Amino acid sequence: MSELDHRGRPRVAVTGVGMHTPAGAGLDANWAAMLEGRSAGRTITSFDVSPLAVRFACQIHDFDPTAYLGPKESRRVDRGSQFGFAAAADALADAGDPGADPARCAVVAGTGIGGLVTLEQQIEVYQNKGPDRVSPFFVPMMMPNSTAGLIGIHLGWSGPMLCIATACAASANAIGEGTRLIRDETVDVVIAGGTEASIVATSIAAFARMGALSKRNDDPARASRPFDADRDGFVMGEGAAFLVLERLDRATARGARIYGELAGYGVNSDAFHITAPSEGGAGAAACMQLALADADLTADTVGHVNAHGTSTQLNDAAESAAIRKVFGDGGPPVTATKGVTGHLIGAAGAIEAIVALHAAREGLVPPVANFGRPGDDVAAIDIVHGAPRRIERAPVLSNSFGFGGHNATLVLVPHD
């Protein structure tokens, strides 16, 4: 087996995964929820939702940050960074000690918004108690790059510690950019992924005002329904997911379990609109084609697609059109995870990359939760629904698209 890819770059292995989502902690809990199509949508319980037009989300209810950071440090870390640190720690524990020079180890963490829980809390403190009561930890807690720094500090890794903030594409971009760091031989090991904790009153109000959120207050568990004819917006989620990426030759030499490879990365932008996707999914289609070319694969080798699938009118219509452009008639099965977890904004891409790779390894594609029939504006693609579907083991393509026109596509290839 060659240690280099078709372009002479080091091949990149996935050796560890960690995730905390509204569907549960760890791959097994999330996989079970995906196979069942079990939505985590519930009425919000963490603050008063009575003034809001949208009063539900996909929340994590049983997370204990002190198990990872201890009581004192937990109080000085925003909820999003708590999630991120926990998921990264779980991923590294899953991978085992990579035994690499700390100067050749990196962290690339994505987030769409950053420390929004802290921001809202401290503004309330300032307004109600005055400037002298604002926390001295406010700035480091709020900083979008705090998760990457926290992970690197705890591990003692002195390689690049990067933050990617490309909205809903952030953690997919983080994985892709982490892959580039290994391919260009800057580092040997990367912890890459993303985190988000943005379920606060102002965020819910803002997304609702722009018409992005579902308004199914009477049935939150069925509100997130990617590609469905009755979809009316996404459901906010929270959580984190990280992967450990290593040079394949090093991972093989140390006897690491290898989930698969990050074989292709496509990244581009729509250059069209600050929130709407490009018409007909042109940017998304080009991004998928870039990823396939990077992996030296053709469209007919892809076993299934894990779609961005937000459950919004514009995104699902554009993405389905893009998938059809790339794969044509008889394209691969398409699934989407957000019917289960809601939309975790900057953390969504990493969660979906893990689920996509596991599905490819298992030869089993989870169904799209809450899907009944495709919308009239959804192109004719093969949406998996009702029950999981058996497929042959093959490369998988995972899409992430963000406000601002950010597009990222990952191609992952399973290993035995």
Tell me the torsion sign for CA atoms 216, 274, 237, 304: positive
99: left (phi over 0), alpha (psi -120 to 50) or beta: left
CA distances from 39 to 48, 338, 343, 369, 393 (A): 22, 9, 12, 7, 27
DSSP lists the bridge partners of residue 162 as 108
202-227 pLDDT, tens digit each: 999 999 999 999 999 999 999 999 99
Structure tokens at 176: 């892709």
pLDDT at residue number 2: 82
DSSP lists the bridge partners of residue 399 as 409
pLDDT at residue number 1: 60
Half-sphere exposure of 378 (CA within 13 A, CB side): 24
280-331 pLDDT, tens digit each: 999 999 999 999 999 999 999 999 999 999 999 999 999 999 999 999 999 9
Q: Which amino acid belongs to residue 165?
A: A
Q: Do 303 and 394 form a contact (C-beta atoms < 8 A)?
A: yes
94-132 pLDDT, tens digit each: 999 999 999 999 999 999 999 999 999 999 999 999 999
Tell me the torsion sign for CA atoms 115, 118, 121, 127: negative
Rounded distance, CA 159 to CA 280, Å? 41
- Beta-sheet strands, E only, within 276-358: 304-306, 334-335
Q: What is the DSSP string of 272-322?
A: S-SSSPPGGGHHHHHHHHHHHHHHT--GGG--EEE----S-HHHHHHHHHH
CA distances from 286 to 7, 216, 331 (A): 20, 34, 16
Rounded distance, CA 71 to CA 68, Å? 9
Rounded distance, CA 205 to CA 44, Å? 13
Segments in the chain below pLDDT 70? 1
pLDDT at residue number 276: 86
pTM above 0.85, yes or no: yes
Among residues 75, 311, 310, 112, which one has the least CA distance to residue 197? 112
Q: Do 225 and 311 form a contact (C-beta atoms < 8 A)?
A: yes
Q: Where are the alpha helices (DSSP H) in 20-78?
A: 27-36, 66-74
pLDDT at residue number 416: 78
Tell me the torsion sign for CA atoms 239, 259, 35, 327: positive
Residue 328 sits at φ, ψ, to 5 deg, of 70, -160
Segment holding 106, helix H or strand E: strand 105-110
Helix (H, G, I), strand (E, B) or coil at 342: coil
Helix (H, G, I), strand (E, B) or coil at 389: strand
Q: Which residue has the tokens 């979906």?
A: 352
How do beta strands 239-247 and 189-196 pair? antiparallel
Segment holding 190, helix H or strand E: strand 189-196
Q: Do 396 and 356 form a contact (C-beta atoms < 8 A)?
A: yes
Q: Which residues are catalytically annotated?
A: 168, 308, 343
Contacts of 83 (CB under 8 A, 6+ apart): 20, 60, 63, 195, 196, 197, 238, 239, 240, 347
Structure tokens at 114: 């950053």
Residue 172 CA to its chain's centroid (Å): 6
Rounded distance, CA 158 to CA 12, Å? 20
DSSP lists the bridge partners of residue 412 as 262, 396
Residue 368: DSSP 8-state: P
Structure tokens at 228: 């469905």
